[in-house]
Amino acid sequence: MFGGSSPIIVLNQNTKRESGRKVQFGNIKAGKSIADIIQTCLGPRSMLKMLMDPMGGIVMTNDGNAILREITVQHPAAKSIIEVARTQDEEVGDGTTSVIVLTGEVLNVASPFLGEQMHPTVIISAFRRALDDILEIMKAKIGVPVDVNNDGELLKIIKSCIGTKFMKQWSELACKMALTATKIVLVEEKGKKEIDLKNFAKVEKIPGGCIEDSCVLQGILLNKDVTHPKMKRKIENPRILLLDCSLEYKKGESQTNIEITAEDDFAKVLRLEEEYIQEICNDIIAVKPDLVITEKGVSDLAQHFLIKAGISCIRRVRKTDNNRIARASGATIVNRTEEIKEEDVGTACGLFEIKKIGDEYFTYLIDCKNPKACTIVLRGASKDILNEVDRNLQDALNVTRNVIQEPVLVPGGGATEMALAHALNEKAKSIVTVHQWPYRAIAKALEIIPSTLIQNCGASTIRTLTALRAKHAQPNSTSWGIDGETGEVVDMKQYGIWEPCAVRAQTFKTAIETAILLLRIDDIVSGVKKAESEGGASRPPPPDAQPNE
């Protein structure tokens, strides 16, 4: 009886394995299809994608993260690969296209081993070992330290990042803006460098003018005007007071009812309101500010008292903008007017001025002493151009931040990937177990970056890649890569094309770890109950891997 039942058990196990392999091949196909969409967006000769959102808006870009944000996919593995681009963008802000292309290729090279019935855990183990060796080799043999105090060197590095973008014809301007903004925001505390670009380097896009008119302000720019036309619109060395409270009569916290019995009771209530507003205005006037900026509203009566005292006022400023003004002007944001002290007033701003650009009014708080917060003003012909310039500038800012925080560089143009591929192939000779073949597969996957650069500029892929392999087989040749403009094999040291080590390391970690994660999945189970079943999880039909652009 036992002998009769055992073949059924074996059959069930084989069926489960077969089902698991189908899921893994489906995941690989999904990853490859996402990578194929993005592949033409790598390098200086990259193509743009035109994306149409549900509202009818159009975006034209070659930024991997921006493209994948707009794509709708059904396959769960494809969705997780799109998340990879978002992770890369949040961590280091660059290399989003590379990470997707590399993830797709790592999954692709794993496919033959699954077809040969090699267990996924063996493949994963080899991939992990390869990743550890990649990070070690990159820092020990390929990485080159850089002097962050040398602006010329830093500008070359930022230029190599901008070189593949729409903004490359204005690369000199963009690089200088990125470097200036990053150095303004840089704060050193206890030997640690903190560069908070997201909160303290605001990009203000103003349609009109030329891209050459763009600049970095030593201070803050707000799309605001003073609350009353009689208030001053230009003040030199202003005393700035920042508030987080409204200059209006305080309304009841919950529903408030007032019962009026006598005729003069209403007049008494109005008088109380006036007295309250006069009191909070007197608290402000006591410290003699020239400019009051509040996050809340300002009543007409409060404006009247402030005009009489010669104080300009700006209301309903965003919390983030108020924080930037506080950091630039040296002011402290006050929550209650009765708590205002002399030291809360900011005096580090050199000029307050309101200018009209087109139909809009803009408040300039500039010429600040050691501001630690800035505004990058972008000018351009249209909103589409400004949005693309903004995306490119964010990449440049992030590259600058990465280099200043971790001053180690690696050669660009696919040189790092080719050097690592050669080093892994050499190291694989010492591995005697079956792990050797998946380990070598990672070396092959790394070659997709130089291979894509060659393809995108229309050169002969096989011949150029063979020449590049031959170069890297020679000693001390780790800096040879692909010229993205011509597709020729060149020395990146002479070309001055470098990338931050942090970006490359994050690219390899994210790509290989995502591939490992997807290879470990052997089933996709839906938590949605089927209408005909009584309960329990159901397995959905294999989703379509093709994304809908």
Taking the CA atoms of the chain, what radius of gyration do you get in angstroms?
30
- What is the token pair recorded at 256? 């408030």
User: Active site includes 395?
Assistant: yes
The amino acid present at 496, given as its one-letter code, is G
Q: Which contiguous run of DSSP H or E holds residue 67?
A: helix 64-70
For the question of residue 97 being annotated catalytic, the response is yes
> Of these residues, 40, 89, 94, 96, which one is catalytic?
96
Q: How far is CA 494 from the centre of its chain?
A: 30
Q: How far apart are the C-alpha atoms of 101 and 88, rounded to whole Å?
A: 13
* Residue from 40, 97, 464, 478 carrying the catalytic annotation: 97
SS3 of residue 356 by DSSP: strand
Is the separation of the CB atoms in 329 and 348 below 8 Å? yes
Say how far apart CA 192 and CA 319 lie, in whole Å: 26
Query: Would you say 195 and 208 are in contact if contact means Cβ atoms under 8 Å apart?
Result: no
Q: Is 359 assigned a catalytic role?
A: no
Among the options 395, 464, 478, 514, which is catalytic?
Answer: 395
Between CA 79 and CA 87, with CA 85 as vertex, the angle to 5 degrees is: 100
Strand partners, 293: 242, 314
Active site residue 464: no
Tokens of 7: 């073949």
Angle at 400 between CA 399 and CA 405, to 5 degrees: 100
| Whole-number Cα distances in Å, 99 to 136, 297, 309, 514 | 19, 47, 59, 10
Q: How far apart are CA 336 and CA 538, in angstroms?
A: 58
Structure tokens at 176: 């200088």
Catalytic positions are 63, 96-97, 395
